Every structure is written in structure tokens, then in C-alpha cells.
């Protein structure tokens, strides 16, 4: 009996070590293994065990650890959760400062985000916007939008962020009518990767970009947006620069592509 107990304890210890340290360390440098492990195996396992979703668990972490009305503490709470509890596809604490620097450089009067997820990048962008500027952020998934609204409210930025639910392809042509927007000074692309290029072309067709408009695209290497990169790097209408970094909370190569619309 003691031998059986010892074997069981040993197996539990081994499984715990594999789950919490060995496998996460092993997948740190491989893009597809990292995404498979974190975004499929771990997420689905925890969803089943906790009868909750990753966004719900992230929201609880924000509510427990972040100071209400303090955007920076919300960002820090999410980064801590993603590094120490459960990975999530936010822009993250390594690429985040790159996003910050571009927002501050542009100092946009009009700003659009494609893909809200849980509101991390919305909070990150909105806290830096000039007085009077509001961020319009589009989210297709209603459950994500529900969580994002609560995260944004906890950060005290609900007056600076308009979150609109729906498909970007349907909503982009309606921006002028819905918000009186003629053009966007800054656009952050962080939604479905196969929508980057179609939505960029839609922004062009709807004349929502002006000369000097800045687009910043996340995850251009992992999971990757090769058609988008080929377009902005080879079109005479754009001047592009790549910022090398890593996939959020890992050592996998990833980066941001900043593209200035030349008209």
C-alpha cells in the first residue's frame, strides 16, 4: 500500500512538474508548440476543470489585484497573470512599450483598434491618448467584448473607449456614419490574422486613411501575416518598419510592423 501511495505521489509530482515548468520551458522557443500548448491544451483543460473561460479568469485576476481607476495597475495585473498563471494573447509587456512609443509619437486625434479581446491593448492605448481623443475598438466575439468592457471600466477608461461588437468587415464601412470619422490617424491591427490585409484594403477603399496615417500590426511573425507584410512592404503607398520582439510572454520571435500611409 505504501508503495502504491508513493508511486501515485511521484506521478502527481511528475505531472505537476511537467505542467508547470518542464513543458512550458520546452515550448518557449517554438511558435507552433507554444500556441498548441498554451492556446489549446492548457486553455481547454482549465476551462473544463474550472467551468470558466480564460477571459473570465483574467478578469478575476484584474478585479483582485488591480486598483480600480488605475490603468497601469490593470496592465500590470494582466501581465502578472499571463506570466505567472496563464498565458493569453495580449500584446504583452515586451511589445507593449513599442505600442506605447508609437501611440505617443503619433499623438492621434482619431484612433481605431481591430480586435479588443479582453481589453488589454485598449487600456494600454487609451491611457496615452491626448485629451479629447477616443479610441474606437472592434470585437467580433460577444463574450470577449463583455469581459473587455469590465476590464476597461475597472481601469476607469470607459469614457475614452468606444467598444463596438461585430465583424470588422461590416463595421469599417460604417465608421463615418457611426462616429463622424473622416480618417484615422492611428490604427492598431490585432484581430484575426487573415483579416489584416482585407481590412487594410477596406480602410483604403472607404478613404479612412489620410497621408501620414500610421498603422501598427501585431503578431506579424507569429502566428504571422505574410500577405499583409508583402503588401505594406512592397506597395508605394506605404513606408514600413519592422520592430523585432517576441510572442507575448514567450521567447518565440514575433514583432510589430509600423506602416505609414503615404497617400
So which residues are the catalytic ones? 190, 193, 218-219, 248
255 touches 216 (CB < 8 A): no
- Residue of 117, 169, 172 lying closest to 148 (CA atoms): 117
- 204 C-beta neighbours (distance < 10 Å), count: 13
Question: Torsion over CA of 28, 31, 37 and 39, rounded to 10 degrees?
Answer: 120
Write out the DSSP string of 32-81.
HHHHHIIIIIIHHHHHHHHTS-HHHHHHHHHHHHSPTT-HHHHHHHHHHH
Name the burial class of residue 260, with classes exposed (0-12), middle (13-18) and buried (19+) by CB atoms within 10 angstroms of its CB.
middle
Instruction: Record the cell numbers describing residue 168, joined without a space.
Output: 470588422
Amino acid at each position: 500500500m505504501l508503495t502504491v501511495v508513493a508511486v501515485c505521489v511521484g506521478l502527481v509530482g511528475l505531472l505537476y512538474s511537467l505542467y508547470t515548468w518542464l513543458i512550458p520551458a520546452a515550448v518557449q522557443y517554438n511558435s507552433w508548440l507554444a500556441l498548441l500548448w498554451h492556446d489549446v491544451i492548457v486553455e481547454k483543460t482549465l476551462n473544463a476543470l474550472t467551468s470558466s473561460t480564460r477571459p473570465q479568469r483574467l478578469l478575476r485576476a484584474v478585479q483582485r489585484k488591480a486598483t480600480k481607476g488605475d490603468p497601469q495597475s490593470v496592465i500590470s495585473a494582466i501581465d502578472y497573470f499571463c506570466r505567472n498563471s496563464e498565458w493569453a494573447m495580449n500584446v504583452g509587456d515586451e511589445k507593449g512599450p513599442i505600442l506605447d512609443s508609437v501611440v505617443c509619437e503619433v499623438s492621434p486625434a482619431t484612433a481605431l483598434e481591430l480586435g479588443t479581446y479582453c481589453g488589454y491593448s485598449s487600456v494600454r492605448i487609451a491611457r496615452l491618448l491626448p485629451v479629447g481623443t477616443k479610441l474606437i475598438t472592434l470585437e467580433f466575439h460577444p463574450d470577449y467584448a463583455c469581459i473587455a468592457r469590465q476590464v476597461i471600466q475597472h481601469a476607469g477608461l470607459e469614457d475614452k473607449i468606444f467598444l463596438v461588437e461585430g465583424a470588422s468587415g461590416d463595421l469599417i464601412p460604417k465608421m463615418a456614419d457611426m462616429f463622424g470619422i473622416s480618417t484615422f490617424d492611428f490604427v492598431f491591427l490585432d484581430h484575426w490574422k487573415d483579416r489584416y490585409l482585407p481590412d487594410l484594403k477596406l480602410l483604403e477603399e472607404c478613404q479612412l486613411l489620410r497621408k501620414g496615417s500610421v498603422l501598427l500590426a501585431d503578431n506579424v511573425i507569429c502566428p504571422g501575416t505574410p500577405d499583409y507584410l508583402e503588401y505594406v512592404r512592397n506597395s508605394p503607398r506605404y513606408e514600413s518598419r519592422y520592430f523585432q520582439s517576441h510572442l507575448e510572454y514567450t521567447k518565440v520571435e514575433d514583432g510589430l510592423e509600423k506602416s505609414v500611409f503615404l497617400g
